[in-house]
Amino acid sequence: MAGTGEEAVPSGQMQSGHGVDAGKLEQHFEETIARDRRIEPRDWMPEAYRKTMIRQIAQHAHSEIIGMQPEGNWVTRAPSLRRKAILLAKVQDEAGHGLYLYSAAETLGADRADLTNRLITGTQKYSSIFNYPTLTFADVGVIGWLVDGAAICNQVPLCRSSYGPYARAMIRICKEESFHQRQGYELLLTMMGGSQVQREMVQDATNRWWWPSLMMFGPPDAESPNTEQSMRWRIKRHTNDDLRQRFVDMSVPQAEVLGVTLPDPQLRWNDARGHYDFGQPDWAEFKRVIAGDGPCNAQRIANRRAAHEGGAWVREAAAAHAAKQAARAAQREAVA
Amino acid sequence: MTSTGEAVPTEVGQARSNWPLFEVFLRSKRGLNHVHVGSLHAADATMALHHARDLYTRRNEGVSIWVVKAADITASSPDEKDPFFAPSGDKVYRHPTFYDIPDSVPHI
């Protein structure tokens, strides 16, 4: 827009709010949120909101990117061409989800290369669930059923996040997650209709993934100090414990249809509450895995780092090719 | 990360930082406008189109894609109360509901 001194950059730039009454800007921001309207990239926003959103979106993006590895482990050993095609499509979706989210983080001023660097140097986290190994092909099914099922519980409310680009990315992601969960459940149904060994594989995978899946909702509410602020900003719509309960209530009947037992002796229907009672995951283990001491933390980061560094020559070659083409086009234009 | 959104030179990220940011617009089917769906990095416009296809149309979401360098977009100021839009605020007579027409008049 000429004459305003306003630079036009739709993504990756921010308003400083210099020279304007900061109190008024904050009031406008708060009112926008209170009316359940979305905050858009170039709106004024409190620094803490921006920082929190960048951290939340970046961690989510990293989780999708690292999330390709546990299942990617089985692509070459999928038992049929059908399962391999499905698994490839799913892993490709995870990459896509990571990219939608990095794109959303960049609208807040985050830099893509910096985010990648933070992931491979371990200075930003990703979901602890992806630090567990995939031991058999049944794990592919259980990840679709439980891990993606838990992700859906977490993500559906985020489609109404107050930050517009994040909410829009989540709508796209949730549509695709539904395929992920259903392919996993169907895979398990197929295995449960197979041999005794296959049924045991499904039960074993369920036993190993159930508790880490419950951990995906984060620590209990009493130990989640940021929840209140996040709910006020409408970047979180339900507490960790509420979402965990919702997930348990959804999963129990699904386990029954499948014919597997969920590995929780305290799991039973509570008529008074109208919900299932259930036991708590091992929160000490959760903290250990988050801190870097899970079964696969080092391997996941090493793989990501190797892929990134191994791809450097491709990125450089593409940039060199683009520069050459641009130079030639300029030359042609000069001659013509 | 900097407040200007400029790339931070880092040892592992430098090459990628040279890839400009493109905004992606999709026409989901004939008869509809192109709509902004997100952004991506690519070395040039051709690569941006290929990446946009892989990233934003894995399930037939589009029949046509536009990509444009983010830096080439000129935008109005972000504030929705901006005086830039004031000229249309007080012209209610531009809307059909401004005019009272008797109920007995058909098809209007």
ipTM attached to this prediction = 0.86
pLDDT tens column, A110-164: 999 999 999 999 999 999 999 999 999 999 999 999 999 999 999 999 999 999 9
B2·A4 Cβ contact <8 A: no
Closest residue in B to A100 (Cα) is B38
Instruction: Mention every residue, 6+ apart, whose C-beta is less than 8 A from residue A141.
Output: A184, A185, A187, A188, A191, A202, A205
Cα Rg of chain A, angstroms:
23
Helix axes A297-310, A47-66, angle to 10 degrees: 90
pLDDT score for B81: 62
A96 to A2, A61, A100, A176, A185: CA distances (angstroms): 36, 10, 6, 10, 22
Mean pLDDT, chain A, integer: 92
Which chain B residues touch A116 with a CB distance below 8 Å? 12-13, 16
Q: Is A322 on the interface with B (CB under 8 A)?
A: yes
A9·B3 Cβ contact <8 A: no
pLDDT score for A20: 63
Percentage of residues of chain A with pLDDT beyond 70: 94
pLDDT score for A19: 53
Q: In B, what residues contact A, Cβ < 8 A? A: 1-8, 10-19, 21, 23, 38-44, 47, 54-55, 58-59, 70-71, 73-79, 81, 84
Which chain B residues touch A312 with a CB distance below 8 Å? 12, 15
Does residue A178 carry a pLDDT above 50? yes
Q: Classify the C-alpha dihedral A251-A264-A289-A233 as positive or negative.
A: positive
Closest residue in A to B79 (Cα) is A43
Q: Are strands B21-27 and B34-41 parallel, antiparallel or unpaired?
A: antiparallel
Closest residue in A to B71 (Cα) is A9
CB pairs under 8 A between A and B: 132
pLDDT score for B17: 54
Q: Is B105 exposed, middle or buried (0-12, 13-18, 19+ CB in 10 A)?
A: exposed
Does residue A335 carry a pLDDT above 80? yes
pTM equals: 0.88
Does residue A9 carry a pLDDT above 50? no
SS3 B38: strand
pLDDT tens column, A225-248: 888 899 999 999 999 999 999 999
Q: Classify the C-alpha dihedral A139-A307-A92-A168 as positive or negative.
A: positive
Give the helix/strand (H/E) hosting B7.
none
pLDDT score for B82: 67
The DSSP-derived string for A232-248 is HTTS--S-HHHHHHHHH
Q: Are strands B64-69 and A275-277 parallel, antiparallel or unpaired?
A: unpaired
H runs (alpha helix) in B18-71:
45-56
Helix axes A81-106, A112-120, angle to 10 degrees: 120
pLDDT score for B85: 80
Collect the ranges in chain B with pLDDT lower than 50: 1-16
